[in-house]
């Protein structure tokens, strides 16, 4: 399974919970070091986890992550599209550039991941 935004908050909690239930978890986040910290903690606790860096707005990075997950685990059963940002993270959330960034991370990334995982 892949959990985007898995390095902190709800995504981290989901990664730890699924791993505790026996899932093989890919902790995916733009913050690669933090994703590895979560994956390492899961492994230390006896679970199976790897970390992966992904910019969820990039179709090429989605394809690569899904291909690597299938190569490592044979299949991809679960995708948790947890990555997301708020308006405070884009500078001017009322400007067009901020709007596009929010939509790209929070909406388009879900479309990309879901579509590519289904292929």
- What are 5-59's pLDDT values in tens digits? 999 999 999 999 999 999 999 999 999 999 999 999 999 999 999 999 999 999 9
Helices 9-20 and 32-44: crossing angle in degrees, nearest 10, is: 30
| pLDDT score for 88 | 84
**CB neighbour list of residue 2: distance below 8 Å, 6 or more residues apart:** 26, 28, 52, 65, 66, 69, 76, 78, 79, 80, 113, 117
87: its two tokens: 């308006």
Q: Is the pTM of this model over 0.85?
A: yes
With a pLDDT cut of 90, the percent of the chain lying above it is 89
Q: Report the alpha-carbon distance of residue 38 to residue 18 in Å, rounded.
A: 13
The CATH code for residues 2-118 is 3.40.50.720
| pLDDT score for 11 | 98
What residue segments make up the domains of the chain, in order of their start?
A: 2-118
């Amino acid at each position: 399974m892949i959990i985007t935004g898995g390095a902190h908050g709800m995504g981290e909690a989901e990664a730890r919970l699924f791993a505790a239930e026996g899932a093989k978890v890919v902790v995916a986040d733009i913050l690669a070091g933090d994703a590895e910290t979560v994956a390492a903690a899961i492994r230390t606790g006896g679970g199976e986890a790897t970390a992966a860096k992904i910019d969820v707005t990039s179709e090429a990075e989605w394809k690569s992550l899904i291909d690597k997950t299938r190569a490592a685990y044979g299949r991809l059963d679960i995708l948790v599209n947890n990555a997301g940002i708020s308006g405070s993270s884009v500078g001017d959330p009322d400007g067009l550039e901020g709007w596009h960034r929010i939509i790209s991370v929070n909406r388009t990334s879900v479309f990309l991941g879901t579509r590519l995982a289904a292929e």
